[in-house]
Amino acid sequence: MRSPVRRVGESIRRHPVSWITWAVIIIGWEILAHLAPASTIENSPLVPSWEFVFTDALKQLSGSWTFDFWAPNPSRGGEETYFGALLAILYHSSQSLYRLVLGLTVGVLAGVGSALVISYWRFARRLVWTPLNFLRMLPLLAAIPLFQYWFGPTTMGTTVFIAFGVWVLLLVSTINAVNNVPDRFIESARTLGASRKRTYFAVIVPAALPELRTSLLLAAGLSWSLTVGSEYIGLGSGLGNILAVAEFFTNTGRMIIIAALIAFYALITFFFLDKFFKRLVSWVPTLADDSNVARVAGVAAIGAPADQPISG
């Protein structure tokens, strides 16, 4: 097994441009931090230096550790510690992840399931298509207060809200994926004697799956936005809540840490979701090669990678 240092070395040799880009961003940020005008508020530089981010700002995160065990509780006059910061990150991350996984799972199952039912009956498709297109246009973040009014500022409310957003996305994209199944597969099945029901479940549904890859990755990105958004507006825990507190204290360093953490978690989510999906549709020729996190992240950001068809 290769050591991590050797792997990084190989990666630098193979992808020098990516590493140079990261180096430019990190160095450029540091230069900007020194050029930016000083803030009038203590501990709130407009552009925080890396030193500030990884010392003061990181330690201040322990303010979000609100329990009286394992580490001092700064809200009760306790000292700010790195261990407290670590506990705060782990606790709030687990809260966000729990809501995200629950909402995403319910949303994906409900979205794909209801779309398959709707697609099977032409009448149902006609019935829901217009309201569905209206729902697509709904600015989801604007619906957060409504969901919190209905379900309260609770984990339940956030989960239902995430599931709703993912449901709308996957409902529309699954119906589209079913509509985009090449006629040749359907006609071939029919001439081989398959009934309408068998053609649907043995041919149309599996043929539609590869097109759902992009939507699934987009749903993962969306669910992170919805989780953080709803926590930011109304919940007392989660990474979104830390962001809200950081904003209250205009602590740009904490904002940077949480934003980077969310990006990291989103990348991990894409990676595992893509692994899972590739296993699900391992028969697709263009998905046969190994997962590439950078490309997958690109998929979520822009919809589809430019160099490779998603559906194969």
Binding residues vs other proteins (CB under 8 A)? 182, 184-185, 187-195, 198, 202-203, 206-207, 209, 281-285, 288
Rank residues 172 and 181 by Cβ distance to other proteins and give the closer one: 181
The C-alpha atoms of residue 33 and residue 25 are separated, in whole angstroms, by 12
Least Å distance, CB 199 to other proteins, is 9
Least Å distance, CB 118 to other proteins, is 22
The C-alpha atoms of residue 153 and residue 238 are separated, in whole angstroms, by 12
Rank residues 53 and 212 by Cβ distance to other proteins and give the closer one: 212
Buried b (16+ CB within 10 A) or exposed e, 84-106: bbebbbebbbebbbebbebbbeb
Query: Radius of gyration of the chain from Cα atoms?
Result: 23
Burial class (CB in 10 A: 0-12, 13-18, 19+), 197: exposed
Least Å distance, CB 208 to other proteins, is 10
- Going 170 to 176 to 178 to 181, the CA torsion angle's sign is negative
Rank residues 160 and 204 by Cβ distance to other proteins and give the closer one: 204
* Residue at token pair 């993962």: 220
How far is Cα of residue 275 from the mean position of the Cα atoms in its chain? 15
Rank residues 14 and 184 by Cβ distance to other proteins and give the closer one: 184
Rank residues 124 and 202 by Cβ distance to other proteins and give the closer one: 202
Least Å distance, CB 203 to other proteins, is 7
Least Å distance, CB 191 to other proteins, is 4
